[in-house]
Amino acid sequence: MRLISENGEQLGVVGIKDAINRAKSVGMDLVVVGANSDPVVCKIMDYGKYNYDKQKKQQKSKKSQKIIKVKELKLRPRIADNDYNTKIKMAVKFLEEKNKVKFNVFFRGREFDKKELIDQLIERIKEDLAEYGSMEGKPDYQGRRMSFSFVPNK
């Protein structure tokens, strides 16, 4: 096996017993680093400290991650004004919290055929949310449902 010392210097190819004795004399562990290579690469290190440092790195990277939540709101093309205002207030609140807002518009009967109703609704929502967020992509039609998303402004 190829052995790497605790300082990171190459010690060359040595036997298993010699590597274990060397690790014990230093008071550290013998860890296999490259099991797939020929010869196998081992390193002398404090394995407990290595795991601790690895865990701290993961915690630090997880802490610096930014998680964006998607909030969904359900609408109908012929929504009443009060209901519409309530949905817009909720959308504004979500966008201010830096969450993404997904609108799902459900169609009943022949509402799907009245494209002007759908376009008016989308334009109305765009105007009301213009200062808080912008529309992401184009509306996506899936059967009797249409969905579109808004992302918060920077």
Can you give the CATH number for the domain in which 121 is found?
Answer: 3.30.110.10
- Indicate whether 71 pLDDT > 90: yes
Give the model's pLDDT for residue 56.
Answer: 93
59, 76: one domain: no
Range of the domain at 9: 2-63
User: At 39, which CATH number?
Assistant: 3.10.20.80
CA distance 1 to 143: 62
Examine the domain organization and report whether 142 and 77 are in the same domain.
Answer: yes
Predicted model pTM? 0.58
The verdict on 81 and 142 lying in the same domain is yes
Average pLDDT along the chain: 89
Q: Are 52 and 84 found together in one domain?
A: no
Q: Which tens digit of pLDDT belongs to each residue from 29-44?
A: 898 888 888 889 999 9
Domain match, 57 and 92 both: no
Asked which of 25, 40, 63 is the last residue of a domain, the reply is: 63
Number of domains in the chain: 2
Residues 74, 148 share a domain: yes
For residue 149, the surrounding DSSP H or E stretch is: strand 145-152
Residues 5-14, mean pLDDT to the nearest whole number: 87
Q: Which of 12-21, 33-42, 60-69, 77-86 has the lowest mean pLDDT?
A: 60-69
Residues in the chain, how many? 154
The DSSP line for 84-143 is: HHHHHHHHHHHHHTT-EEEEEEE--TTGGG-HHHHHHHHHHHHHHTTTTEEEEEEEEEET
